[in-house]
Chain A
């Protein structure tokens, strides 16, 4: 189960990167990066997953005393939240850039923005 999720995550990363680096359209690049980020998040969660255990919330079902043997690793879950939020921030920023770029040159083709080189 965890391995499937992890493999899916990695494949998503590769697909996302391929999309982001082969599509010239800036909006498509942003979407592709979002796919890749999703893949990363999937990998993150998959690493913390442990077969046959439950969510790390203590309640009647998971008393404190049994927590060690009943819950999955909570750390990746905490990390993934941060990763998601950061991903959202970067995506928003890229979208704002895309808008602004379009305003300046009227195109979303990344290969047109090569005024600076060498």
Chain B
């Protein structure tokens, strides 16, 4: 009880801090210096129509590399945590109910579409509100559907791991190429920036985002797989 009361009191204090933040907050009427620079120069410099994507992949590419690493790390640790508990599941303890006609058929129908959509989203990240992370998540949702419809099927961790690692290495490699061929680490202008608004534009952004998409898809899939295999059937 005391604990809860203290907690409420402390959260009230935190709330006061937040309230202070809000009271001091005056919305900008114009873009600030940084945002203004992006609005003015992104198109000319990087050739990306989606400014957010340009920021994510190039200007703040180091953050994104970190982000991808976060997922890689989580996937590795989840694997590490759960690896030793993964028991042999070829023989389930009990009879499983069938997954159902609807789900099985639906999966067969939807899976290619989902994968295609995912690929579209991550390869058009520089043009549309999409990108590697969104696309990757969509890819992984395909994996989720498969896991739901075929709970006993073993998927190859190996393939996923290879996709994940190669995509990661490729990201780092492209970043390093930036040092050699363009202005610095993660500079996207190692490829021509092309015409604004076209698919093959914005230099290496679509390439990087495609790798990110694959990598994110693989990482989410591997996490899902690991978690699903802990399920006691």
Contacts and interface: CB of A to CB of B under 8 A. Distances in A.
B35 A85 contact: no
A7 interface: yes
Interface majority SS (helix, strand, loop, mixed), chain A: helix
A: interface residue count bin: 35 or more
Interface of A: 2-3, 6-7, 10, 13-14, 17-18, 21-22, 47, 49-51, 55-59, 64, 67-69, 71, 73-75, 77-78, 81-82, 84-86, 88-90, 92-93, 95-97, 99-100, 103
Contact of B36 (A18, A68, A82, A89): A68
Contacts of B73: 89
A116 to B, nearest CB: 19
Interface string B77-98: 1100110010000000000000
Interface string B7-24: 110010011001101100
Interface of B: 3-4, 7-8, 11, 14-15, 18-19, 21-22, 25, 27-32, 34-36, 38-40, 42-44, 49-52, 55-56, 60, 63-64, 66-67, 70-71, 73-74, 77-78, 81-82, 85, 127-129, 131, 133, 196-197, 223, 226-227, 230
